[in-house]
Amino acid sequence: MRLAFVGKGGAGKSAISGTFARTLARQGDKVLAIDSDPLPGLAFSLGLAIDHSPPIPDDAVIERKEGEDGPRWRLNPDVDPFDAVDRWSVEAPDGVRFLQFGKIKGDPKNLWRSQMAFRFIINKLPPGRWNVVGDLPGGTRQAFTGWGSWANTILIVVEPTAKSLLSGRRLARMADLDPENPKRVLVVASKVRQDGDIEMIEKGVGLEVIGAVPWDEELAEAERRQLAPIDFAPDCPAVLAVESLVERLSEETVSS
C-alpha cells in the first residue's frame, strides 16, 4: 500500500494519516509514514511530540559536474534508499517509522538539498518492504508535481465546505496530469457533521467517497494536548472511522 493524503490546508490530512499509519502498523504491517511538509503535523498525530530524527545530510544528493550529462541533481550513489530510511527515520509508537524531509535550521540551502534527497529516496524505494503513508502539504502544488509520484493511491481529504470542495475538485482533475504514474484517486470526507454532507462531497468533487470521518471534538482536544488521537481517544468516532478506512483499503489491496 502506498498512499498519499492530499487536500486543502486544515482539512484533516495529518490527523487522518497519522491515525491511519498507526492502525495499519497495529495490523502487523511495516509502515513508513512520511511528511513532506516543513511544518510538523504528522509527527504529532503519530504520537511523536518531540522529533529526534536526524536530518538528511546535504551530501545525500550530488550536483552534476561540469561536462557531465543528466539531471543537475541526483541521489548520492553511496546512499541506498533502504538504508537511508533506516538511518534517517525515527521509530514512532506501534513500530511505525517516520521520515521527514528536513528541519528549517541553519542554511536554507541545505534544506533544499535535503528535500531533494527525501524525494529521491522515496521515489527509489522499491515496493514490497514498506507500506508508505504520506502526508502532503495543503493545497494543490505538491500533490501531482513529483511529490506524490511514489504513491499508487491518492486520498483527497475534503471537508463539507465550499473552499474544500473546490480544492478537492482541482486535485481530482490534476490526477490526470501525471499519466506516467497512474493512480487511484479517492475521496475521504472529513469533519462530517450532518446527513447529506457525504453526498455533497461526492457530487462536488465527482469521485467516490471511500470513507467518512465525523466531526469530533476529541481530535481537537488531542491536538491541544499534543497527543496522537489514537492514544488520547482510541474509541472516539473519528478514530474508529479511520480504522474502518484502513480495513476497507486493506481488504481491497489484498483482493486486487
Ligand X SMILES: Nc1ncnc2c1ncn2[C@@H]1O[C@H](COP(=O)(O)OP(=O)(O)OP(=O)(O)O)[C@@H](O)[C@H]1O
Residues at the interface with ligand X (CB under 6 A): 7, 9-15, 37, 41, 138, 190-191, 213, 215-216, 219-220, 223, 238
User: 60 and 117 in contact (C-beta within 8 Å)?
Assistant: yes
User: 154 and 24 in contact (C-beta within 8 Å)?
Assistant: no
211 binds Mg ion (CB under 5 A): no
Shorter beta-carbon distance to Mg ion: residue 14 or 131: 14
Distance CA 11, CA 169 (A): 14
Backbone angles phi, psi at 48, to 5 degrees: -110, 85
Binding string to Mg ion for residues 170 to 209, with x set by CB under 5 A, is what?
----------------------------------------
Burial of 214 (0-12, 13-18, 19+ CB in 10 A): middle
**Quick one: CA torsion of 122, 126, 129, 131, rounded to 10 degrees?**
50
| Binding partner selected for residue 223 from Mg ion, ligand X, none, CB under the kind-specific 5 to 8 Å limit | ligand X
Distance CA 75, CA 57 (A): 12
Q: Nearest approach, Cβ of 224 to ligand X (angstroms)? A: 8
Distance CA 97, CA 251 (A): 23
Binding string to Mg ion for residues 20 to 49, with x set by CB under 5 A, is what?
---------------------x--------
Shorter beta-carbon distance to Mg ion: residue 21 or 75: 21
| Binding partner selected for residue 202 from Mg ion, ligand X, none, CB under the kind-specific 5 to 8 Å limit | none
Q: Nearest approach, Cβ of 127 to Mg ion (angstroms)? A: 25
Q: Nearest approach, Cβ of 54 to Mg ion (angstroms)? A: 22
Pull the grid cell for residue 117.
534527497
Q: Nearest approach, Cβ of 255 to ligand X (angstroms)? A: 28
| Binding partner selected for residue 22 from ligand X, Mg ion, none, CB under the kind-specific 5 to 8 Å limit | none
Shorter beta-carbon distance to Mg ion: residue 13 or 97: 13
Which residues are CB-neighbours of 184 under 8 A, at least 6 positions away? 152, 153, 154
Q: Nearest approach, Cβ of 114 to ligand X (angstroms)? A: 19
Q: Which residue stretches of 89-194 are H helix?
A: 108-124, 162-174
The binding site for Mg ion (CB under 5 A) comprises 13-14, 41
